[in-house]
Structure 1
């Protein structure tokens, strides 16, 4: 017997499951195979998405050649989907060695430079 107690939102939950030996064996087999598949697939997808996002951020500045910080941040936020992720991309570009940051008055200018 398996008892689950807790809440789902504001609703209390008290669930009792009665399993025979065959049910336990199937559950054990399922638990042994499922975590391995999900543990290896999820990080690979996240890494691929981060790599694609980073490549797109570089391509954006490379295509423009030069953007002021506010314009670049705005475009990176749109690309990444939120402000925090856009700021992380901006910092990563700044420190990548492929971007020159210079004073542009009120906002810095980000210029793409081709590495030698």
Structure 2
């Protein structure tokens, strides 16, 4: 199960999603559009086995995919999206710190705010 809370414009959003293995596979394939054809086959085969064990793992995977697809986001923009994803400021900040320390992420001071970039 995955809960998403936040806003769309001025409207509050509170969604609860229940995902089975097929749903996780489809979600994974949505984020795999930029993967080379050879890698896509390996990812598709591994998705059911790599299904997140708990909600924290699922959120971590989605947070990585969010930054990977964006390529680069400012700290405040990324935090806002993570808070919307998790439904709480504390959980969003935990994911932001985890991204900051990930070997796949480069953080550069960009004036007043840090810039988070996905390293390919």
TM-score range relative to shorter protein: 0.5 to 0.7
Q: Helix, strand or coil for the counterpart of 2:54?
A: helix
In structure 2, distance between residues paired with 1:98 and 1:52: 17
Q: CA RMSD in A?
A: 1.3
TM-score normalised by length of structure 1: 0.57
Name the SS of the counterpart of 1:108 in structure 2.
strand
Which ranges of structure 2 fall in alignment gaps of 5 or more residues? 1-51
> Larger Cα Rg: Structure 1 or Structure 2?
1
The equivalent residue for 2:115 is 109
With the length of structure 2 as denominator, give the TM-score of the two structures. Answer: 0.55
Count of aligned pairs between the two proteins = 69
Cross-structure match for 1:51: 57
1:24-77 CA-partner distances (Å, limit 9, x unpaired): xxxxxxxxxxxxxxxxxxxxxx95111110000000000000000000000000
Task: Please identify runs of 4+ aligned residues in structure 1 that moved more than 3 A.
Answer: none
Q: 1:67 corresponds to which residue? A: 73
The structural deviation recorded for 1:107 is: 0.2
Q: 1 or 2, which has the higher helix percentage?
A: 1
The answer for unaligned runs of 5 or more in structure 1 is 1-45
Partner of 2:85: 79
